[in-house]
């Protein structure tokens, strides 16, 4: 890294913004195609009725709510991690924070659509909003769905701010190099940044405040998501462990998602000199800790259920341990622990490829976890006569696929308009005071390039 | 008026005939969903007669248990509803306001009895089957939740009638459709706030149990457990 | 949004079309002047009669004003009219005392069924092609009359045949008189679940050719030999009421109920003790119980009187029926038999009932006589808590026999039936294929049906003269069981007809008067209701106890309360009465199909919801879960888990059931409530033609039954067939219930 001069950094990191490769166009088109298909599926569901999904009595929540929890979980990658790293002032974080924070914003926006997608009458979703209606009707604040509404909105707003603030200097940099209409647009979003010490000072203070403020928000979000379940007297839902269990799972899947994203960016945007093995090594260690934590939570949850031996819970317990849901259950354990643990524990395997593979299985495993929390419980509530089974329909599958593609496409577009690695923070890594960055921002020097 | 409507069901009388089920469909405009949707568990039986086998051939016994909304006094389906569509009425019923329901299905998950049913599609009555509809009961559109109401339309009608005649309701004068039809008189409906009512008496019977009462839902339906024969080979 | 939908639906629902969204075709409909001034939203209750099974329960119909799309003299329009909205039991009616069974509850859908025959139809295309054209009633009745007049007079060319459901009251009187005025006309009353065997047995034992009224309510010990008395047999609602009373209606006193049957029926499910018995061994079992009672001097053999004397070696105490001797044949442990005998003897009053498959083996008559003798021995005949017979006993009818003979005569050409009239009977569905009904129908030049629906048989008709729905029609009925009172039900129409239909009785009367001659003379009444009123005038004269001051008031009261019933109860039936007819010896049951090739007994049973199949067209009943299997919208084949394991059949597998007379396919339902050597299947589905809801759905077990009759009667021995089964693929089994048992982790897989 020391080999790189500020100018090289600027050039390397701005390169991805210029020009669109054929490969980029093709994959973007593909992703867009799937997204359009998902939109069609959704509108068909609105038109025909929720019956086109696989939902049924008594399994009233399925793929949609699974996706909701999954995406909200992923969103804990960025903001939370980068906030922690910022506060801990871990210098290796510098190339990582932005692509992490982007994950948060996109995953959160995607996750937040599912509570609407799954409604029986989505056109009335606005009744969840607290607004003075002509009938003086306010939503029911006792409902965890309302808590979701507030928590997710708060988290989304703070994450967006948390992403945008440190982008400003880089946007200014692009503005200064750009010409014509681009200059206008970047100029507008650069908020008149000139890099005066005063501005730098304000930016850093703001980042410090945000970094601290965003952590409790992030924790609250997944706690509340967990309470959507824990508040209902449903076997294996009604548990005090859910909030920390969900938060840990969220960070777990979040880090995995981050590692995957970084590995991809590294290849696709040729950022080999910036996203270094050390980053994957460190995040890999973090992931290892979370994997152990996850296993600990699952063990604790299962042990208490089994030891308590309450009839209702045991039905769900056994159906997941060795009943019809056991293949999925053991696949989840393999994906979240058995496979990643050795990879991440053994230093030799904790390579970029290694951590990427582990992260991949973890992302799958964590999706399965959410599915296995929701469906087996609902299909095996107390009265055995009312037991049922659930199978998703093509509509749910298409919409689910659509949201994964949406994540990819958004990420691709983002990396085309904003440097995915924070230029000024990297440079700041070179010198202690960010003078260099300040210097680059000088028009005359820019002209001299 | 302080009524607290409740029911008692004597499982020693119930013979699983299903009359209550059809009566409920007929009274409450519950739409039939047809073979394909039935195969996807989208049928809406506000009341169902649960059937449980015990033992192996030849020592098999069967238990029937009609299950429907227990009108819980601490109803898990109520606090979770974001629009107050599922709410508690002054007479202790769990009310369901179709107009207000946006179809989150949270209430149905929270209901430990799986007593709630969802309209996955708009209801259809192939003409002239539409003429069978009960004008006292609104029909439900796609995307809303529905369930046993204790035939609230009958309760209201009787209360209005009694009020018009400036008198109190007599015990037993008001019967939900299922109770009215039950050929074994297994079901008894009445006012739990009146200690003299038959339902109050049965609610305190030694055979009386509350379904999943241990969950703290405070159901307003009492199940009188199946009795056994007390005789012998020589009387 | 849903406001409009709500109103649109409620408008179509007969509330108001005026409020509807524009551009709706309903708007173009012309409005007819209201037929009656009803207050919108104000309900009136009118008495009627449930005709869906032989019990004849009394109804109250909730009628409210609504708007119906109807055709009046060729004009489609909206008519504000009184519409039936709900059926409830008539609390005043002695049989059902305000209660209804699920079938009765669903009766409303007969009236509003989308596939009702709305006008007279004449065949227009090859037979069975289902192609008909609408004709006017005048033309229809002319055509019928012309056909009939050919069969009138001294030298008729050909004969007349009528096949109807078992009839009662004035409809029976009219049909009988009508048939009688034709030279050697064949009048056949046919139903699959006919009570011919029980009538014959009761005629022989007690001199009453009718099913018993069982006073379960007062009984302390009930032994049922396969009688589905809580579900479909005899008078289920009356019996359910009494059952509830027996269990919990008498503080401190709870009767015991023991049920013998190879399968757990809905009734067996409520038993205190269900004991599987070898098919066809019910009679031997009853006599084994009697043996113990006599041997242990709990009752003297003589107590059984005439009913006992019909049984060989009864007076000697039935030496051949010692429990240990018959135990193997019966399949019940001797101790158990003895114990139940002692319990029954010790808990007076005790009563035994037999019906269903137990009377549908070739030795069914013997079994019924054996149970009659047991009842007599227990002293439960004509006593509270025992069996009595409703007053006025109609003559025994060998329904099945006469249909079978009629069919064989037609096929063999020995009888030249030129015209066949069908009413509420569906022989093509309800008779074994082996009887050859289809071939016989092809030989009949003219077939007319009075059905409200095109079913398997009426699809073969040349002329369809649609009857009113029961709610639109005058009705009268004389229940033969369910109450010990004299009951004569009557009901004026509860609502005006929706379609251009006419009551069968009125059509017969019209046709008769057009034909004139003896036929007209035989039928003095102008209309059906006139005939009913005549019946009540006669009843007024014959009844000593009556409140009404004259015949008119008697008639008016009867119409208002849904009939007339005596205050006092009949004590008819006593062991003294010597009946007629000799009893057959205990023949071992004959089964059709060798045990090696056909290892299983085939046990068809009445569906709690679809009854004998005549109700398969009602969506409410199709979608209501069967009480035990919880199956909806289809057939199933019940198999014992051990048997299934042996044959490698899994829940929901499509299995092929093959008898010597054919084979069918239906999904397997594995249940602990059936003997390993028995395969059971509900009757009701498998219509090749019966409205959009039933056509082509499921399989019809009747089609593969043996044609054998119950010895000494003309009733079909529908439980005497043996079958083999094999899995042939995956079936469509739609279950509502998840788990079989209350505390099991096993799962439902759909
Ligand atoms: N075509 C036609 N028009 C009519 C009538 C008719 O019969 N036909 N009837 C007239 C009569 S009698 C009346 S009272 C009016 C009623 O007119 P409206 O009151 O407009 O109709 P509604 O659909 O009952 O209620 C309006 C909206 O409120 C929604 N709503 C229900 N709960 C909530 C909630 O919690 N929050 C919010 N924000 N909205 C909620 C309903 O779903 C509906 O979308 O219509 C009048 N207009
Ligand atoms: N699901 C649901 N239920 C609702 C509502 C809802 O929004 N959704 N809204 C509620 C409200 S606000 C209202 S106002 C009611 C409205 O609903 P209702 O008033 O109960 O029913 P309507 O269909 O409006 O009309 C009632 C009766 O008036 C009769 N009628 C029509 N025209 C005439 C006439 O000219 N003369 C006479 N005598 N009778 C006539 C109709 O045939 C019908 O039988 O529904 C209430 N119920
Ligand atoms: S109607 Fe009565 S007897 Fe029949 S199933 Fe329902 S509760 Fe039981
Ligand atoms: S039974 Fe279920 S739906 Fe009814 S009140 Fe209780 S929780 Fe709510
Ligand atoms: S489905 Fe309807 S009633 Fe149930 S919680 Fe959601 S909005 Fe409330
Ligand atoms: S009380 Fe009314 S709504 Fe509830 S089950 Fe009985 S009939 Fe249905
Ligand atoms: S038993 Fe049921 S079907 Fe038969 S007459 Fe009575 S109500 Fe109707
Ligand atoms: Mo209104």
- Residue closest to C685 by CA, chosen among C621, C730, C742, C737: C621
Q: Do A58 and B145 touch (CB under 8 A)?
A: no
Same domain, residue pair C293 and C350: yes
- Nearest-Cα distance to chain C for B74, in Å, is 25
Q: Verify that C231 and C370 share a domain, yes or no.
A: yes
Q: What is the pLDDT of residue C582?
A: 63
Residue written as token pair 């008149």: A192
The answer to whether B234 and C342 have CB atoms below 8 angstroms apart is yes
Q: In what side-by-side order are the strands of the sheet with C446-449?
A: C132-134, C121-123, C463-464, C446-449, C417-423, C159-164, C186-189
Say if C594 falls within a structural domain: no
Residues C354 and C300 in one domain: yes
Task: Based on the fold, state whether residues C286 and C365 are members of the same structural domain.
Answer: yes
d(CA B115, ligand 6 centre) in Å: 11
* Domain-embedded: residue C178: yes
Domain annotation covers residue C354: yes
Pair of tokens at residue C366: 């013997």
Q: List all residues 6 or more positions away from A100 whose beta carbon is below 8 Å from its beta carbon.
A: A77, A78, A79, A81, A82, A258
What pLDDT is attached to residue A436? 40
> What pLDDT band is residue C38 in, cutting at 50, 70 and 90?
confident
Q: Is the CB of B85 under 6 A from ligand 5?
A: yes
Q: Is the pLDDT of residue A395 over 70?
A: yes
Segment B168-196 shows an average pLDDT of 97
Tell me the pLDDT tens digit for each residue of B81-92: 999 999 999 999
Please give the residue range of the domain that contains residue B89: 5-224
B37 contact residues in A (CB cutoff 8 A): 51
Task: Mark yes or no for CB contact B82/A386 under 8 Å.
Answer: no
Q: 3-class DSSP state for residue C399?
A: helix
Ligand 2 contacts (CB < 6 A) are B 98-99, 135, 138; C 3, 6, 10, 15-16, 18, 40-41
Mean pLDDT (whole number) for C516-527? 91
Cα distance between residue A385 and residue B52, in whole Å: 8
Task: Return the pLDDT at C378.
Answer: 97
Atom 8 in ligand 6: residue holding the nearest Cα: B24
pLDDT of the residue at C25: 57
Q: Which residues pair with C601 in a beta bridge?
A: C678, C722
> What average pLDDT is seen over chain B?
96
Say if residues B98 and B86 touch (Cβ distance below 8 Å).
no
Chain A residue with CA closest to B122: the answer is A49
Chain A: touching chains (3 or more CB pairs < 8 Å): B, C
Q: What angle do CA C408, C413, C417 make, to 5 degrees?
A: 85
The answer, yes or no, to whether residue C8 has pLDDT greater than 50, is no
Residue where a domain stops, chosen among C353, C388, C423: C388
Residue B211 in domain: yes
Closest residue to atom 4 of ligand 3, CA basis: B17
Position A1 pLDDT exceeds 70: no
Given CB atoms, is A196 within the 8 Å cutoff of chain C? no
Q: Are residues C335 and C380 in the same domain?
A: yes
Residue B71 lies in a domain: yes
Looking at the domain assignment, is residue C593 inside a domain? Answer: no
Using an 8 Å CB-CB cutoff, list chain C residues near A319: 745, 747
Chain B: closest CA distance from residue C13 (Å):
5
Tokens found for residue C711: 């010895």
Task: For an interface test with B, give the residue of A44, A50, A315 to mutate (most B CBs within 10 A).
Answer: A50
Whether the pLDDT of residue C365 is over 50: the answer is yes
Q: Are residues C65 and C211 in the same domain?
A: no
* Inter-residue contact C499 to C69 (CB < 8 Å): no
Ligand nearest to the CA of C236: 7
Q: Domain A6-122+140-441 falls in which CATH fold? A: Formate dehydrogenase/DMSO reductase fold (1.20.1630)
Q: By the CB < 8 Å criterion, does C76 face chain B? A: no
Residue C725 has pLDDT above 50, yes or no: yes
Q: Is the pLDDT of residue C211 over 60?
A: yes
Q: pTM of this prediction?
A: 0.91
Q: Which domain holds residue C453?
A: 117-190+402-467+502-524
- Per-residue confidence band for C579, with pLDDT thresholds at 50, 70 and 90: low
pLDDT tens-digit readout, A258-277:
999 999 999 988 888 889 99
**8 Å CB contact of C739 and A384:** yes
Domain count for chain C, please give it. Answer: 4
- CA–CA gap between residue C631 and residue B43 (Å, rounded): 12
Instruction: Determine the distance separating the centroid of ligand 5 and the alpha carbon of B84, expressed in angstroms.
Output: 8
Q: What is the mean pLDDT of chain C?
A: 91
Q: C89 with C217, same domain? A: no
Q: Which chains touch B (3 or more CB pairs under 8 A)?
A: A, C
Residue with tokens 């579900």: C231
Same domain, C211 and C268: yes
- Please report the DSSP string for chain B in residue order: ----EEEEEETTT-----HHHHHHHHHHTPPP-HHHHHHTT----SSEEEEEEES-TTS-EEEEEEE-----TT-TTTTT-TTSSEEE-TTS-EEE-GGG-----HHHHH-TT--EEE-SS-----TTGGGG--TTS----TT-EEE--SSHHHHHHHHHHHHHTT-PPPTTS---HHHHH-TT--EEEEETT-TTSHHHHHHTSTTEE-TTGGGS---SEEEEPPP-----S--
Of A123, A311, A384, nearest to C738 by CB-CB distance is: A384
Atom of ligand 7 nearest to the CA of C235: 1
In-domain check, residue C6: no
What is the least distance, in Å, from the CA of B164 to any CA of chain A? Answer: 30
Q: In the structure encoding, which two tokens stand for residue A360, read together?
A: 């991949």
Mutating which of A58, A59, A311, A395 best tests the B interface, going by the most B Cβ atoms within 10 A? A58
Scan for tokens 């009938």, then name that residue.
A135
C682 contacts chain B (CB < 8 A): no
Contact C293, C345 (CB under 8 A): yes
How close C46 comes to chain B (CA, Å)?
Answer: 16
pLDDT of residue C577: 62
Does pLDDT of A334 surpass 70?
Answer: yes
Query: Could you tell me if A57 lies within 8 Å of chain C, comparing CB atoms?
Result: no
B207-223 confidence digits (pLDDT tens): 999 999 999 999 999 99
pLDDT of C394 reads 53
User: A206 is written with which tokens?
Assistant: 């703001």
**Residue B230 forms part of a structural domain:** no
Residue C748 has pLDDT above 50, yes or no: no
Nearest to B138 by CA among C13, C86, A57: C13
B232, part of any domain: no
The ipTM (two decimal places) reads: 0.90
- Closest atom of ligand 7 to C105 CA is 7
Nearest chain A residue to C750 by CA: give it: A389
Sequential DSSP letters for C10-70: HHHTTS-STTSPTT-GGGGSEEEPPSS---TT--EEEEEE--SSTT--EEEEEEEEEEEEE
In chain A, pLDDT over 90 holds for what percent of residues?
A: 77
d(CA C554, CA C539): 9
* C741 close contact with A: CB closer than 8 A: yes
Residue C18 bridge partners (DSSP): none
Nearest to B22 by CA among B70, B66, B62, B77: B66
What pLDDT does C17 receive? Answer: 41
User: What is the number of the ligand closest to the CA of B88?
Assistant: 4
DSSP, res C740: S
The ligand 6 atom at the shortest distance from the C-alpha of residue B28 is 3
CA–CA gap between residue C740 and residue C535 (Å, rounded): 52
Mean of pLDDT over chain A:
91
Task: CATH number of the domain at C49, please.
Answer: 2.20.25.90
Cα dihedral C726, C727, C732, C738, rounded to 10, equals: 100
CATH code for the domain in which residue C457 is found: 3.40.50.740
Judge whether C216 lies within some domain.
Answer: yes
My answer on whether C216 and C343 are in the same domain is: yes
Helix segments in C413-500, DSSP class H:
427-430, 437-443
* Helix A242-268 with A277-308: angle, nearest 10 deg: 150
Look at chain B and report how many structural domains it folds into. 1
pLDDT of residue A84: 85
Indicate the range of A41-50, C144-153, C338-347, C606-615 predicted with least confidence: C144-153
Binned at pLDDT 50, 70 and 90, residue C36 comes out as: low
| Ligand 2 atom closest to C10 (CA) | 23
For residues C293 and C209, state if they share a domain.
yes
Question: Cβ(C479) to ligand 7 under 6 A?
Answer: no
Q: Are B17 and C102 in contact (CB under 8 A)?
A: yes
Q: How far is the CA of C25 from the centre of ligand 1 (A)?
A: 24
Ligand having the closest approach to the CA of C269: 3
3-class SS at C74?
Answer: coil
A386 part of contact set with chain C, CB < 8 Å: yes
CATH code for position B110: 3.30.70.20
Q: Average pLDDT for residues A231-235, to the nearest whole number? A: 96
The rounded distance, in Å, linking the Cα atoms of A422 and A417 is 13
Residue C137: inside a domain: yes
Do the Cβ atoms of C704 and C662 come closer than 8 Å? yes
3-state SS class at C488? strand
With bands split at pLDDT 50, 70 and 90, how would you rate the model's confidence at C265? very high
Check if B117 has its Cβ closer than 6 Å to any atom of ligand 6: no
Residue B233 placed within a domain: no
CA of B160 to the centre of ligand 8 (A): 19
Residue C264 shares a structural domain with residue C359: yes
In a domain, residue C397? The reply is no
Interior angle at CA B43, CA B38 and CA B46, nearest 5: 160
Tell whether C342 is within 8 A of chain B (Cβ). Answer: yes
Best residue among C17, C26, C34, C40 to mutate for probing ligand 2's pocket (most ligand atoms within 8 Å of CB) is C40
d(CA A336, CA A386): 32
What confidence score (pLDDT) does residue A378 get?
98
CATH (domain of C341): 3.40.228.10
Domain boundary among C492, C524, C556: C524
The partner residues of B66 in beta bridges, in order of sequence, read B49
Q: What pLDDT is attached to residue C578?
A: 64
Query: Dihedral angle at the C-alpha atoms of C735, C738, C740, C744, nearest 10 degrees?
Result: 160
């Amino acid at each position: 890294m020391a080999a790189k001069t500020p100018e090289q950094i600027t050039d390397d990191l701005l390169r991805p913004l210029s020009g669109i490769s054929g490969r980029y166009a093709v994959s973007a088109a593909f992703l867009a195609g799937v997204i359009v298909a998902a939109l069609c599926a959704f509108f068909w569901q609105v038109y025909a009725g929720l019956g086109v999904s696989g939902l049924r009595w008594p399994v009233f929540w399925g793929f949609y709510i699974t996706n909701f929890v999954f995406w909200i979980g992923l969103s804990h990658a960025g903001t939370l991690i980068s906030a922690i790293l910022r506060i801990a002032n871990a210098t290796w974080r510098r190339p990582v924070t932005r692509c992490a924070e982007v994950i948060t914003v996109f995953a959160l926006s995607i996750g937040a659509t599912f509570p609407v997608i799954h409604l029986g009458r989505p056109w009335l979703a606005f009744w969840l909003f607290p607004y003075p209606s002509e009938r003086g009707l306010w939503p029911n604040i006792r409902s965890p769905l309302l808590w979701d509404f507030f928590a997710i909105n708060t988290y989304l707003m703070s994450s967006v701010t948390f992403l945008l603030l440190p982008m400003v200097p880089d946007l200014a940099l692009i503005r200064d190099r750009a010409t014509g209409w681009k200059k206008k647009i970047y100029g507008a979003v650069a908020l008149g940044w000139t890099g005066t010490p005063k501005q730098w000072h304000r930016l850093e203070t703001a980042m410090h405040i945000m970094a601290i403020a965003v952590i409790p928000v992030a924790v609250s979000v997944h706690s509340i998501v967990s309470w959507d379940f824990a508040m209902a007297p449903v076997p294996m839902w009604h548990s005090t462990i859910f909030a920390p269990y969900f938060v840990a799972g969220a960070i777990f899947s979040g880090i995995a998602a981050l590692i995957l994203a970084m590995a991809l960016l590294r290849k696709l945007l040729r950022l080999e000199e910036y996203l270094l093995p050390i980053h994957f090594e460190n995040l890999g260690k973090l992931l290892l800790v979370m994997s152990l934590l996850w296993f600990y939570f699952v063990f604790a949850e299962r042990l208490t259920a089994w030891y308590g031996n309450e009839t209702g819970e045991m039905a769900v317990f056994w159906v997941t341990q060795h009943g019809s849901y056991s293949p999925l259950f053991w696949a989840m354990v393999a994906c979240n622990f058995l496979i990643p643990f050795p990879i991440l524990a053994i230093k030799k395997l904790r390579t970029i490829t290694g951590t990427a593979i582990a992260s991949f299985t973890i992302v799958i495993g964590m999706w399965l976890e959410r599915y296995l929390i929701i469906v087996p419980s609902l299909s095996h509530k107390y009265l055995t006569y009312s037991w049922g089974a659930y199978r998703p329909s093509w509509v749910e599958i298409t919409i689910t696929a659509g949201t994964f593609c949406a994540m990819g496409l958004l990420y691709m577009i983002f990396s085309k308009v904003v440097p995915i690695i924070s230029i000024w923070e990297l440079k700041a890594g070179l010198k202690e005071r960010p003078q260099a960055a300040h210097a680059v921002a000088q028009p005359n020097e820019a002209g001299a390039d | 008026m302080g009524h607290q409507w409740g029911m008692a069901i004597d499982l020693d009388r119930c013979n699983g005939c299903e009359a209550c089920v059809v009566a409920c469909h007929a009274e409450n405009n519950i739409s039939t969903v047809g073979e394909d949707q039935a195969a996807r568990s989208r049928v809406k039986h506000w009341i169902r007669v649960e059937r449980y086998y015990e033992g192996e051939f030849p020592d098999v016994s069967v238990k029937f248990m009609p299950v429907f909304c227990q009108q819980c006094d601490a109803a898990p389906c109520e606090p979770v509803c974001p629009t107050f569509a599922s709410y508690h009425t002054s007479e202790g019923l769990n009310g369901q306001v179709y107009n207000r329901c946006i179809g989150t299905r949270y209430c149905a998950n929270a209901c430990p009895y799986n007593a709630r049913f969802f309209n996955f599609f708009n209801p259809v009555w192939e003409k002239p089957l539409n003429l069978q509809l009960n004008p006292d009961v609104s029909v439900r559109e796609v995307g809303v939740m529905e369930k046993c109401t204790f035939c609230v339309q009958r309760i209201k009608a009787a209360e209005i009638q009694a009020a018009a005649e400036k008198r109190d309701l007599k015990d037993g004068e008001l019967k939900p459709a299922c109770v009215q039809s039950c050929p074994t008189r297994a079901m008894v409906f009445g006012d739990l706030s009146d200690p003299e009512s038959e339902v109050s008496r049965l609610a305190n019977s030694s055979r009386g149990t509350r379904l999943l009462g241990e969950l703290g839902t405070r159901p307003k339906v009492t199940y009188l457990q199946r009795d056994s024969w007390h005789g012998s080979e020589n009387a | 949004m849903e406001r409009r939908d709500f109103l649109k639906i409620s408008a179509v629902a007969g509330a108001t079309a005026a409020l509807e969204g524009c551009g709706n075709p309903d708007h173009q409909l012309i409005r007819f002047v209201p037929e009656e001034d009803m207050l919108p939203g104000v309900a009136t209750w009118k008495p009627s009669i449930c005709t869906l099974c032989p019990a004849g329960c009394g109804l109250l119909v909730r009628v409210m004003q609504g708007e119906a799309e109807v055709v009046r003299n060729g004009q489609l329009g909206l008519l504000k009219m009184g519409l039936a909205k709900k059926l409830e039991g008539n609390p005043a009616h002695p049989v059902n005392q305000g209660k209804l069974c699920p079938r009765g509850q669903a009766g409303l859908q007969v009236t509003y069924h989308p596939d009702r025959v709305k006008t007279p139809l004449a065949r227009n295309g090859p037979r069975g092609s289902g192609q008909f054209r609408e004709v006017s009633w005048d033309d229809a009745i002319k055509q019928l009359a012309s056909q009939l007049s050919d069969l009138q007079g001294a030298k008729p060319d050909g004969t007349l045949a009528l096949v109807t459901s078992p009839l009662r009251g004035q409809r029976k009187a009219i049909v009988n008189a009508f048939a009688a005025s034709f030279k050697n006309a064949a009048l056949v009353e046919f139903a699959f679940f006919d009570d011919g065997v029980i009538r014959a047995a009761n005629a022989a034992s007690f001199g009453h050719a009718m099913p018993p009224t069982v006073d379960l309510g007062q009984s302390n010990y009930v032994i049922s030999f396969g009688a589905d008395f809580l579900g479909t047999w005899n008078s289920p609602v009356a019996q359910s009421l009494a059952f509830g009373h027996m269990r919990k209606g008498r503080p401190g006193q709870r009767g015991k109920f023991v049920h013998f049957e190879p399968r757990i029926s809905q009734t067996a499910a409520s038993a205190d003790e269900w004991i599987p018995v070898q098919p066809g061994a019910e009679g031997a079992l009853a006599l084994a119980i009697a043996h113990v009672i006599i041997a242990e001097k709990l009752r003297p053999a003589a107590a059984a009187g005439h009913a006992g004397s019909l049984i060989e070696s009864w007076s000697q105490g039935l030496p051949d029926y010692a429990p240990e001797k018959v135990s193997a044949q019966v399949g019940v442990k001797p101790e158990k038999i003895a114990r139940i005998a002692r319990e029954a003897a010790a808990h007076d009053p005790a009563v035994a009932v037999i019906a269903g498959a137990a009377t549908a083996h070739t030795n069914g008559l013997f079994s019924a006589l054996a149970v009659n003798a047991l009842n007599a021995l227990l002293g439960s005949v004509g006593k509270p808590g025992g069996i009595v017979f409703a007053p006025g006993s109609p003559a025994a009818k060998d329904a099945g026999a006469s249909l079978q003979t009629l069919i064989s005569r037609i096929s063999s050409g020995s009888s030249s039936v030129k015209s066949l009239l069908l009413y509420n009977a569906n022989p093509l569905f309800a008779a074994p294929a082996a009887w050859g009904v289809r071939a016989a129908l092809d030989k009949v030049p003219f077939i007319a049906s009075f059905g409200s629906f095109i079913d398997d048989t009426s699809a073969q008709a040349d002329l369809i003269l649609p009857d009113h729905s029961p709610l639109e029609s005058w009705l009268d009925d004389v229940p033969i069981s369910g109450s010990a009172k004299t009951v004569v039900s009557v009901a004026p129409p509860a609502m005006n007809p929706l379609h251009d239909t006419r009551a069968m009785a009125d059509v017969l009367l019209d046709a008769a008067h057009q034909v004139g001659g003896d036929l007209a003379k035989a039928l003095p009444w102008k209309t059906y209701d006139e005939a009913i009123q005549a019946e009540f005038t006669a009843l007024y004269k014959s009844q000593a106890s009556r409140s009404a001051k004259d015949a008119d008031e008697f008639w008016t009261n009867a119409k208002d309360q849904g009939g007339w019933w005596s205050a006092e109860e009949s004590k008819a039936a006593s062991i003294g009465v010597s009946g007629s007819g000799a009893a057959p010896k205990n023949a071992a049951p004959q089964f059709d199909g060798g045990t090696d090739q056909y290892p299983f007994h085939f046990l068809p049973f009445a569906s709690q919801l679809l009854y004998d199949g005549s109700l398969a067209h009602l969506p409410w009943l199709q979608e209501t879960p069967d009480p035990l299997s919880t199956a909806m919208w289809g057939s199933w084949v019940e198999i014992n888990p051990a048997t299934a394991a042996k044959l490698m059949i899994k829940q929901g597998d499509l299995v092929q059931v093959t008898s010597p007379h054919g084979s069918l396919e239906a999904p397997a339902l594995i249940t602990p409530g059936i003997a390993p050597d028995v395969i059971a299947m509900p009757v009701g589905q498998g219509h090749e033609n019966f409205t959009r809801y039933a056509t082509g759905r499921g399989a019809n077990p009747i089609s593969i039954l043996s044609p054998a009759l119950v010895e000494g009667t003309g009733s079909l021995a529908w439980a005497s067939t043996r079958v083999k089964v094999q899995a042939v693929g995956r079936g469509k089994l739609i279950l509502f219930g998840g788990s079989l048992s209350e505390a099991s982790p096993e799962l439902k897989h759909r």
